């Protein structure tokens, strides 16, 4: 049951149970037939009398690669599922130590299995959707994402079963469409969203980016052209993992006018690179100094395809924009804030989650959250083969193991 990717049972597997990165300890599991033979070749117990390894009895010793000691480790031998021997090696959590242990084990004949594969194959699962849930949980970056995924594990297949059993094909398709309507937001909650901040120099883009992220990442100064290249910072807004990209402003440095020392070609390249990077964003924030009239030059603000929020910053200094000037920018919405003072930022955060399709209360939300799920459901909801719907839902969308 649910052992895709873990076939060819003759080869022992190495899995990293702790997250990749530096930690106080790392736990590396070696499991599978012959794992005990392989392990004994590398492990040298401190106490000779303890050479026989017993399940659940912790042993202390050295892990060696040939003559070279790799690390002092604690080992917990277990018997997984009643048959396969398995060793949880608790080592020091430095990157190099982990790398050397994994290398020594793979050189000795074990196969390294990635975290995603482990989650998708070694947790009990009876369907593709359940495996996708485990896999997504290994990457979940916020508590809200974890809660959402844990709920989907049973709620999503249950809802799909209900739809499959709907006698009337038209209502089944309508119910699928309702699931699909929430799916872009669900996907962003699991994968994270990217927000790009653009606008003229000195509008307060970097101040706003830092406010959103909650730490001083981008350099802020009264001198136009302070941000020379795009800066990406990780944060979470309303429980949604987000990457905030602060970009250099377009303007005098790049379009005639006075050139700074870093102006001219270099600045033009930087602006082009920032545009490229922000083209893939899920949302654009266009920031202007709202206490000044809109800049005279015509800049196309709303980009085709990417939702855009107009932010009129420096509200503490007043507002010079007329309603007509706001509307001329043709953005999804407009909001006045003071990034420096922190005014109205909670409303801005709410607007952002609303535009990204994440303004639902989590309780009871059921949604498709992987590209595969969305693709299969979209096809089902669109194609005119309605008599097939229940079968495709069970076999392809839920992907029940047979
Ligand atoms: N009064 C006021 N000044 C601000 C506000 N936000 C930013 N500033 C100031 O505007 C200047 C330019 O800010 P910065 O974030 O570097 O702008 P950027 O060039 O768009 O990244 C700095 O002196 C900031 O302190 C605001 O909300 N109100
Ligand atoms: Mg800046």
State in Å: Cα 247 to ligand 2 middle: 7
Q: Is the pLDDT of residue 90 over 90?
A: yes
State in Å: Cα 366 to ligand 2 middle: 39
Q: Are residues 322 and 214 in the same domain?
A: yes
Name the domain boundary from 104, 122, 140.
Answer: 122
CATH number at residue 282: 3.40.50.300
Q: What pLDDT is recorded for position 323?
A: 95
Q: Which ligand is nearest to the CA of 290?
A: 1
Q: What pLDDT is recorded for position 18?
A: 85
Is 5 a domain residue? no
pLDDT in tens, 260-299: 444 567 777 777 777 777 788 999 999 999 999 998 766 6
Q: Are residues 137 and 282 in the same domain?
A: no
CATH number at residue 47: 3.30.1360.120
Q: Are residues 137 and 242 in the same domain?
A: no
Q: Are residues 199 and 311 in the same domain?
A: yes
Is 91 a domain residue? yes
Tell which one of 199, 207, 227, 315 to mutate to probe ligand 1, the residue whose CB is within 8 A of the most ligand atoms: 207
Is 2 a domain residue? no
Q: Is the pLDDT of residue 75 over 90?
A: yes
pLDDT in tens, 299-340: 656 666 789 999 999 999 999 999 999 998 889 999 999 999
Tell me if 205 CB under 6 Å of ligand 1.
yes
Is 111 a domain residue? yes
Nearest CA to ligand 1 atom 8: 204
Q: Which ligand is nearest to the CA of 205?
A: 1
Q: Are residues 347 and 231 in the same domain?
A: yes
Nearest CA to ligand 1 atom 16: 220
Q: Are residues 168 and 250 in the same domain?
A: no
pLDDT in tens, 92-147: 999 999 999 999 999 999 999 877 676 666 667 889 999 899 889 888 899 999 99
Nearest CA to ligand 1 atom 1: 314
State in Å: Cα 235 to ligand 1 middle: 21
State in Å: Cα 248 to ligand 2 middle: 6
Q: What pLDDT is recorded for position 389?
A: 79
Give the nearest ligand 1 atom to 339 CA: 27
Number of domains in the chain: 3
Q: Give the 3-state DSSP-derived string for the chain, with helices as H, strands as E and coil as C.
A: CCCCCCCCCCCCEEEECCCCCCCCEEEEEEECCCHHHHHHCCEEECCHHHCCCCCCCCEEEEEEECCEEEEEEEEEEEEECCCEEEEEEEEECCHHHHHHHHHHHHHCCCEEECHHHHHHHHCCCCEHHHHHHHHHHHHCCCHHHHHHHHHHHHHHHHHHHHHHCCCCHHHHHHHHHHHHHHHHHHHHHHHCEEEEEECCCCCCHHHHHHHHHCCCCCCCCCCCCCCCCCEEEEEEECCEEEEEEECCCCCCCCCCCCCCCCCCHHHHHHHHHHHHHHHCCCEEEEEEECCCCCCCCCCCCCCCCCCEEEEEECHHHCCCCCHHHHHHCCCCEEEECECCCCECHHHHHHHHHHHCCCCCCCCCCCCCCCHHHHHHHHHHHHCCCHHHHHHHHHHHHHCECC
State in Å: Cα 317 to ligand 1 middle: 11
**Across 377-382, average pLDDT:** 89
Q: Are residues 106 and 134 in the same domain?
A: no
Q: Are residues 261 and 173 in the same domain?
A: no
Domain that holds residue 382: 128-179+362-398
Q: What pLDDT is recorded for position 387?
A: 64
């Amino acid at each position: 049951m649910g052992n895709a990717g873990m076939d060819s049972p003759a080869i022992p597997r190495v899995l990293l149970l702790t997250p990749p990165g530096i930690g106080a300890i790392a736990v590396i599991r070696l499991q599978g037939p012959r794992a005990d033979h392989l392990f004994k070749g590398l492990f040298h117990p401190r106490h000779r009398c303890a050479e026989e390894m017993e399940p659940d009895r912790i042993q202390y010793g050295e892990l060696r690669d040939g003559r070279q000691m790799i690390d002092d480790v604690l080992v917990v031998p277990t018997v997984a599922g009643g048959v396969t021997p398995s060793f949880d090696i608790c080592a020091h959590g430095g990157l190099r130590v982990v790398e050397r242990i994994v290398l020594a084990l793979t050189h000795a004949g074990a196969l390294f299995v990635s975290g995603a594969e482990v989650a998708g194959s070694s947790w009990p699962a009876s369907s593709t959707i359940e495996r996708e849930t485990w896999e997504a949980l290994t990457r979940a970056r916020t508590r809200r994402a974890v809660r959402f995924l844990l709920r989907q594990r049973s709620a999503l297949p249950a809802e799909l079963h209900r739809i499959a059993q709907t006698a009337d094909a038209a209502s089944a398709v309508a119910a699928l469409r309702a699931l699909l309507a929430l799916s872009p937001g669900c996907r962003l909650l699991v994968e994270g969203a990217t927000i790009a901040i653009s606008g003229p120099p000195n509008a307060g883009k970097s101040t706003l980016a830092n406010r959103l992220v909650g730490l001083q990442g981008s350099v802020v100064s009264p001198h136009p052209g302070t941000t020379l290249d795009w800066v990406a910072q990780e944060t979470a807004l309303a429980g949604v993992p987000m990457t905030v990209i602060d970009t250099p402003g377009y303007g005098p440095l790049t379009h005639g006018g006075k050139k700074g020392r870093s102006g001219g070609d270099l600045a033009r390249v930087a602006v082009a690179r920032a545009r490229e990077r922000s083209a893939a964003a899920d949302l654009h924030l266009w920031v202007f100094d709202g206490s000044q009239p809109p800049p005279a030059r015509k800049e196309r603000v709303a980009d085709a395809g990417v939702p855009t929020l107009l932010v009129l910053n420096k509200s503490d200094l007043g507002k010079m924009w007329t309603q007509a000037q706001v509307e001329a920018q043709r953005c999804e919405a407009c909001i006045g804030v003071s990034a420096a003072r922190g005014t109205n930022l909670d409303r801005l955060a709410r607007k952002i989650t609303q535009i990204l399709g994440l303004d639902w209360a989590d309780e009871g939300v059921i949604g498709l959250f992987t590209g595969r799920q969305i693709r299969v459901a979209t096809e089902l909801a669109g194609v005119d083969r309605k008599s097939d719907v229940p079968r495709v839902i069970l076999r392809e969308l839920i992907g029940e193991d047979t």
